[in-house]
Amino acid sequence: MSFVENDNLKQWISSLVISTSYLAVMVNIQGFIGLMPFVVDEFSISMAEAGLYSSFYFLSATIVALFSGRIVDRLGTKNGMILGVSIMGTMMILHSFSPSFSLIFFLAFFTGVGFSLITPSISKGIFENVKSKKRNFFMSIAHSGGGVGGFLGAALLPSIGIILGWRVTLLIAGCFALVVGLFIFQFYKSKYKSSDSDIAYEVSEDGESTEIENTSFIRELVYLLHNPLLLCFGSMGVVFGISVSSVTGHLPLYLTQDLNISPSFAGFMLGVFHVGGILGLPSLALLNEKLFLGDKRKGLFVMGLFISGIAFIFGFLVSQFDFPPLVVLFLSFLLGFCIMGMTATYFTAVGELVEKKLIGLATGIALIFARIGFVTAPPLFGFVADLYGCYEMSWIILGVAVLIISSTFLFLSAKIIAFARKEQAPTK
């Protein structure tokens, strides 16, 4: 029993150390988004231009997603996390000295490179340190660091910005990321050796697993792209991407401009969105295991339905009627609970579809789907708001898009699994 308890403690410690990398990057990126009303005022930019920041940020992250997964597979989890948070911290420090918003676009592009290393590092780290059916739960713990960082950045940085200005505030946040890099260097240790972590995970419906020998990047990529279920799950990455980027990129502006909420309280609401994600990650991971018996297809579909429903509430009700701020605060919490809560289930599902030696590359593929949403959604969300003079229609379009993609995912994934079972069935 003591061995089991000690083993469980090590899983907790490893997951918490891993989570600090996500905490550091989210303090910075969500902190900057929370400070966006101050930036908008200083540079006199439109809502669409403000949304373009997220597009530039995730454009580079999308371009290098496959390579970042490959880099993490080669460098290892620890070096991947350290490099990622170091790039993030350095770029945000440079943000704080930028004389124009055009230069901030340029810096955002390189900031995304650092962020692109974090997610595959986290996924690989969990698979290296957790050898149990609790992997989905501990993946949620690691990703919860992003929720904590998002809350701290969005809730605290705008308030600090009122006192110190957005530039000094961002400078402090960037330095914090560099300190976290030193923390990871000192305390992260992999529980299993590389040879132990390269055991293939089950990928077929009948429980059989397959392994491929060490080969070139192109051959590994082609191998993964021939997995139709992996590509199908990627559509839910698009749902995550368009949802989280639209909300985090525009929620403070929506609250301040459409609902006349103060910038500091709007930043706090964005922080509460991330608090919802902190609680949603482990809750939805456990719910998926208990209610859907580990069927991540159904879990992701239900999350998509809830995201769509809440977006409709914002578009049809909150934007039309005078809702009390506490109700809007609660809805922001629920939105974060569902959107951010789906990440652990999504990336765990992707990791379980491939050999462990290819988790970094597979995560890179999964990230491309998510970042398609990250790149395209924020400027479109802002453009529609500019077109109509408010964010009402932006919310409605988001709800429709999430509903259509989630329903299509459930239908196609069922067809793929049914076809695979038919092919594997013994012939008479």
Write the DSSP string, 193-254: -HHHHTSBPP-STTS------S--HHHHHHHHHT-HHHHHHHHHHHHHHHHHHHHHHHHHHH
Average pLDDT of the residues of the chain = 84
For the four alpha carbons of 385, 387, 393 and 399, in that order, the dihedral sign comes to negative
Identify the band that residue 21 occupies on the pLDDT scale cut at 50, 70 and 90: very high
Cβ atoms 406, 305 nearer than 8 A: yes
**Percent of the chain surpassing pLDDT 70:** 90
Intra-chain end-to-end CA distance of the chain, in Å: 48
Nearest to 335 by CA among 215, 246, 420: 246
Answer with the residue of higher pLDDT: 347 or 63.
347
How large is the average pLDDT for residues 26-43? 86
**CATH at 337:** 1.20.1250.20
* Number of domains forming the structure of the chain: 1
Residue 202 lies in a domain: no
Q: Tell whether the model's pLDDT for residue 210 goes beyond 70.
A: no
* Amino acid at position 134, single letter: K
Residue 200: inside a domain: no
Q: Report yes or no on 196 lying in a domain.
A: no
Token pair 């901030």: residue: 104
- Of 335-344, 400-409, 419-428, which range is least confident? 419-428
Q: What is the pTM of this model?
A: 0.72
What is the mean pLDDT of the segment spanning 350-354?
84
Greatest mean pLDDT range, 104-113, 169-178, 222-231: 169-178
Residue 345 one-letter amino acid: T
Residue 201 lies in a domain: no
* CB distance 263 to 37 below 8 Å: yes
Say what the pLDDT of residue 302 is. Answer: 94
Examine residue 235 and state whether it is found in any structural domain, yes or no: yes
Residue 206 has pLDDT above 60, yes or no: no
* Residue 57 lies in domain: 2-187+214-423
Task: Check pLDDT > 60 for residue 5.
Answer: no
CB 45 within 8 A of CB 101: yes
Report if residue 20 sits inside a domain.
yes
Contact 155, 35 (CB under 8 A): no
pLDDT of residue 133: 67
Output the pLDDT for position 427.
53
Tokens of 70: 């490959």
- Asked if residue 206 is part of any domain, the answer here is no
Give how far Cα 186 sits from Cα of 86, 107, 179, 181, Å: 14, 29, 11, 9
The 3-state DSSP class for residue 355 equals strand
Looking at residues 19-34, what average pLDDT do you find?
89
**CB 147, CB 336: distance < 8 Å:** yes
Cβ atoms 300, 346 nearer than 8 A: yes
**Is 7 among the domain residues?**
yes
* Confidence at 198, pLDDT banded by 50, 70, 90: very low
